[in-house]
Amino acid sequence: MLARLRTESEGGSVLEAAAAAPAPWTTSPSPSLTWLYGPRIRHHRPLSAVPRPRPRPPRVPRLRQAPALGRPRVARQPGEGAGQQGPGLEAAMASVRSSAASKRGQRRSRSEEKLIRQEEERKHLEEEELRLAAEQLEREIVEQKRLEEEERARIAAELLDELQMLLSDTPPDELAEATADQYLHTICNLQDLLSNINDKATDILLQKAIDLVDIETGNMQEVVNDENVTLCLWANFNKNPRFKGYDFVNNHVEFELPRPLAMCDIAVRILHTQYDHISCHIPLFQAQQKAFRNDTILIIEEEQPDNKEPEVEQPDNKEPEVEQTDNKQPEVEQTDNKQPEDIKSKHEIDSKLAIDDDIKRLRPTRTRSALSSSSKDEVLKNKWPSGERSPAHAMANVELLHEYPSEETLDESIVDFNQYTPLGGVYYFDVLKLPPQPKIVNGWRIVQLSETGLQPFSYPLESAKESISSLGTIEERDADNHPVQPVGITIKLPPRALFFEKPTPARWDASGVVWRTDGIHSVTFDAETEQLSFKMDTFNIFTLIQRNYVNMPFQSWDIRPVAENEALLTVHSALVIVEIRIKELCQLCPISVKDNLAHIRGKWMTASSLITCMINAGLNIFPGTESEKYVAKTIKIKQLEHDTYTQMALVASAIAFKWSKWNKNCEQEDIILQACENLTGEAVDEDSWALYLLRPERSQNLNMKESDDEWTRETNEHTEFYSNLYHMMRGHASEAALERILNADHLFFTNVNEMLQATKLLSHTV
C-alpha cells in the first residue's frame, strides 16, 4: 500500500523510515480501511523543506467489529528495527484499548437510557390513553344528555301541538270540562318542561365552555340550532375592558355588552324559540285565541225596542232559533184577519226548521251553545288567582267569552291583544353566571359538579339600582350621566313570520304576566336588510308584535266551487292577496308577497288550526270582536251576518259568491252580495253574476248589475221571494247543482262556515 520512501539520512522523515521496513505483523490494508489511514502518499518533500507538524493525540479509529480492527500502524522511532516495538507503540495500543473500553461503556449506558426512555414513553402513552378515554367518556355522557334533552323536547312539542289541536278543534259540547281542564294543565306542564330543557342545554354547554374557547377572540362563542330553537351563547374568558359586544354573523344576531360587565365571569345567552309559550299564560291572549276557533258562543245582545223585554236564553228542550225568528209571532196568533202576516210567519218558521235540519244533517255533532253564568264564573275563577274575578267579568255586552280589562285600567305600555299579536316566537336575552370550569392537574381533568343549574347574573348592579328610579324619561336614560348603561341587541326578522310594517319590540313582565313596551328605546329598523336594533334597561325576554288589522279592511273577496265538496276562497286584503283551498281540510296557497310561510303553506289542516297558524305567522285576515275600534267596517246586524255565512256554506259546493260595492252603502239590516251557479270550477264571467238583497225577513234578486251607476231596490221580474239566502239558492239552482248541495259533506260545510265566520267578509270589506 505504501510506496518505498527514503530513509532519514537521505532526506526522509522518521515516519517514512519506519514505514519503509515492513513489520512482521503488518498486512496489506484492504480498500475498506482507506478512510482509517487516509489517502496514499504520492509525493513527498525533503524534511528540511517541510515544517515539522505539532504532535497530535493518537487517533482512535471507529470500529464496528473488534476482530476486523487489526493493529494500527504507528511511526517508529529512529534506530528501531523492523521486529522491535518501542514505547510509543505500546502507549498507542494502551490508548486504543482504553478508548474501546470507554466506548463499550458508553454504548451500554445509552442502551439503558433508551430502555428507560421507552419505559417512560410507554407509561406516558398509557396515561394519555386513560385521559383520552376519560374525556371521551365525558363527551359521550354529555352528548347522551343532550340527545335525551332534544328527544324530550321533541316529544313535548308534539304533545303540545296535539293537545292544542284537540282543544281548538273539538266542539265544547263534545269535550268534557274535566278533560279540557286536564288538557290545559298538561299544556302548562309541557311548556314548563320545554323551558327547563332549554335551560339544561345551556347549562351543559357552559360547564365545558373552556373547551370551546376561540383562539382569536379568547372567549367562547357557540351556536346550536335546530328546526325550532336557535341558541347563541357567549362566555367571557378574555375579560377585555374594551370589549363592546359580539356579532353572530351567520345567525344575524348581535348584542352590545355594558362596560361594567366586561370584567365579570358571565355568559350571555340569546335563545330564540320559534314557538311562543309565554303569551299563553295571559288571559287576554287566551280569550283572543278563542275568537277564531270553531263556532262562536252566541251571547248577542242587540238593541231592543222600548216595549220589548231582552231575549233570554231558551231551555234545552226548545228550539231557540224558531222562537227568535219573528218577534211579531204572538201578535199574529191573536189576530185572525191578518192572513198575509200569518202566512209569512209560518213560512219563515218552516224555512228556519228546514235550515236547521240541513245543518244538523251536515254537522250532527256541532251545535251552538252558550255558557251558563255559573260555568262562566267557574272559568273566570280558574283563570285568575286567589278566586278573584277578572276585570272583564263586569262586561256583559260581549259577543264571545272574553276577559278584557276595561280601558280605564289598561296601561298604555301593556300590549293589548285586541290590537297586537306577538310574531316570530320569543327571544330569551339573559346574562348568566359562568359556572366553574374544568382544570387539568397532572394530566387529569377535574370538574367541579354543581346541581344549582343556571344562575342569573344580577344587572343592573346593586350599586346602581338605587339611582335608577330617579330617571324616568327616555331622554334621561339616554343621557351621559345615566348610572346604568343599557344593553343593546340587533336581530334579523324571524324567518317564519310576515311583517307588513315596522315591528315593535315588547318585553316580558313576569310580575304582571303581560308584555310591555316601556323600558325599550333607541329602536331602529332597516327595511332592506330587515335588521331591527334597540336597547333595553336590562336583560329580558322580548318578542316582536304587529297590529292585527294591518291588512284590513278588505278590498274584495270571492268564494267559488272548484269541484264537488271543494271551494277556493280569495281575499284581497289591504296589502296581500290570500287564497285558501277548502275541502275536508283547508290549505293555504302561495301569497303575492315575500313568502315566509313555508311551514304552513301547502299543508292540509282544519280550518281552526289554519286560522291560528296564520294569525301566529302575521297573516291575519280574521277580525276580532272589537275590530270597530281599530279599523273601518260596515255595520250589519250580527245575527243576519252570522246566518248568511252559514247559508253560504251550505250551498258553497255549487254556488259562487262575490262581494258587492253596494253593500257598504246600504242600511244595517241589508246585505248585498253577488252569486252565480258554477259547476265547472272555472272563473265566472262578469255578466253571469247576479245581485241579491238579504234582509232579516226575506231575500230577493235585484234587477240591476254590479256595474250600474245608481242603486235601486227594484226586484227582478219572474222571481219569487224567499225567506233567506239558502232557500233562494236552492230555488234557482239546476238539478245538478241541487244534487251537489244535498250531497255536501259535513266536514266541507264546517270548514267553509268556520272560515267565513272568522273572516267576516260582509262587514269588513269596504
Residue with the three cell numbers 272563473: 683
Work out the average pLDDT over 461-467: 58
Q: Identify the pLDDT of residue 353.
A: 62
Break the chain down into helix, strand, coil percent, rounded to 5. Answer: 35, 20, 45
Q: Identify the pLDDT of residue 439.
A: 86
Q: How far is CA 500 from CA 380, 593, 594, in A?
A: 35, 10, 10
**Quick one: angle between helices 746-759 and 339-362, nearest 10?**
110
Position with higher pLDDT, 97 vs 482: 97
Q: How far is CA 659 from CA 357, 426, 449, 572, 706, in A?
A: 28, 38, 68, 11, 10
Work out the average pLDDT over 450-459: 85
Work out the average pLDDT over 719-727: 89
Position with higher pLDDT, 342 vs 544: 544
Instruction: Please tell me the distance from the alpha carbon of residue 219 to that of residue 215, in angstroms, as a whole number.
Output: 8
Please, is 517 exposed, middle or buried when counting C-beta atoms within 10 Å of its C-beta (0-12, 13-18, 19+)? middle
Residue 692 near residue 701, CB atoms below 8 Å = yes
Under the phi-then-psi rule, with left for phi > 0, alpha for psi from -120 to 50, and beta for the rest, what region is 743? alpha
- Nearest Cα to 725, choosing from 693, 703, 702? 693
Q: Identify the pLDDT of residue 92.
A: 64
Residue 23 near residue 62, CB atoms below 8 Å = no
Q: Count Cβ atoms below 10 Å from residue 161 Cβ, excluding itself.
A: 13
Q: Identify the pLDDT of residue 132.
A: 83
Q: What is the DSSP string of 175-229?
A: S-HHHHHHHHHHHHHHHHHHHHHHHHHHHHHHHTGGGGB-TTTSSEEEEEE-SSE
Output the nine-digit C-alpha cell for 450: 354543581
Residue 664 near residue 642, CB atoms below 8 Å = no
Q: Count Cβ atoms below 10 Å from residue 313 Cβ, excluding itself.
A: 11
pLDDT higher than threshold 50 for residue 331:
no
pLDDT higher than threshold 60 for residue 399:
no
Instruction: Please tell me the distance from the alpha carbon of residue 753 to that of residue 750, in angstroms, as a whole number.
Output: 5
Instruction: Please tell me the distance from the alpha carbon of residue 560 to that of residue 652, in angstroms, as a whole number.
Output: 7
Residue 544 near residue 493, CB atoms below 8 Å = yes
Our measurement of the distance from residue 612's CA atom to the centroid of its chain's CA atoms, rounded to an integer in Å, reads 17
pLDDT higher than threshold 60 for residue 66:
no
The mean predicted confidence, pLDDT, of the chain is: 75
* Helix boundaries (H) for 299-443: 320-323, 329-334, 339-362, 373-383
Work out the average pLDDT over 292-318: 41
Instruction: Please tell me the distance from the alpha carbon of residue 588 to that of residue 422, in angstroms, as a whole number.
Output: 21
Beta-carbon-side half-sphere exposure of residue 65 (alpha carbons within 13 Å): 3
Residue 513 near residue 498, CB atoms below 8 Å = no
What b-and-e string marks burial along 230-265, b requiring 16 or more CB atoms within 10 Å of the CB? Answer: bbbbbbbbeeeeebebbebeebbbbbbbbeebbebb
* For the ranges 34-43, 298-307, 396-405, 707-716, the one whose mean pLDDT is highest: 707-716
Q: Identify the pLDDT of residue 737.
A: 94
Work out the average pLDDT over 498-524: 93
Strands (E), 564-608: 566-572, 577-582, 586-588
Q: Identify the pLDDT of residue 157.
A: 76
Please, is 358 exposed, middle or buried when counting C-beta atoms within 10 Å of its C-beta (0-12, 13-18, 19+)? buried
Our measurement of the distance from residue 582's CA atom to the centroid of its chain's CA atoms, rounded to an integer in Å, reads 29
Cβ within 8 Å of residue 378, ≥6 positions away: none
Our measurement of the distance from residue 740's CA atom to the centroid of its chain's CA atoms, rounded to an integer in Å, reads 44
Instruction: Please tell me the distance from the alpha carbon of residue 598 to that of residue 274, in angstroms, as a whole number.
Output: 13
Work out the average pLDDT over 702-710: 90
Query: What is the identity of the amino acid at 264?
Result: C
pLDDT higher than threshold 50 for residue 721:
yes
The neighbouring-strand residues paired with 542 are 427, 507
The per-residue pLDDT for range 614-657, each reduced to its tens digit, is 998 999 999 988 888 899 999 999 999 999 999 999 999 999 99
Q: How far is CA 250 from CA 6, 427, 523, 615, in A?
A: 92, 17, 23, 28
Residue 413 near residue 420, CB atoms below 8 Å = no
Work out the average pLDDT over 31-47: 45
Please, is 466 exposed, middle or buried when counting C-beta atoms within 10 Å of its C-beta (0-12, 13-18, 19+)? exposed
Position with higher pLDDT, 432 vs 171: 432
Q: What confidence tier does 468 reach under pLDDT thresholds 50, 70, 90?
A: low
Work out the average pLDDT over 196-204: 89
What b-and-e string marks burial along 197-222, b requiring 16 or more CB atoms within 10 Å of the CB? Answer: bbbbbbbebbbbbbeebeeeeebbbb
Q: How far is CA 541 from CA 278, 354, 464, 544, in A?
A: 10, 54, 21, 11
Cβ within 8 Å of residue 715, ≥6 positions away: 700, 701, 702, 703
pLDDT higher than threshold 70 for residue 315:
no
Residue 270 near residue 427, CB atoms below 8 Å = yes
3-state secondary structure 611-622: HHHHHHCCCCCC
Work out the average pLDDT over 339-349: 50
Instruction: Please tell me the distance from the alpha carbon of residue 561 to that of residue 1, in angstroms, as a whole number.
Output: 120
Query: What is the identity of the amino acid at 413?
Result: S
- Among 122-131, 231-240, 557-566, 605-614, the minimum mean pLDDT is found in 122-131
Look at the pTM and tell me if it is higher than 0.75: no
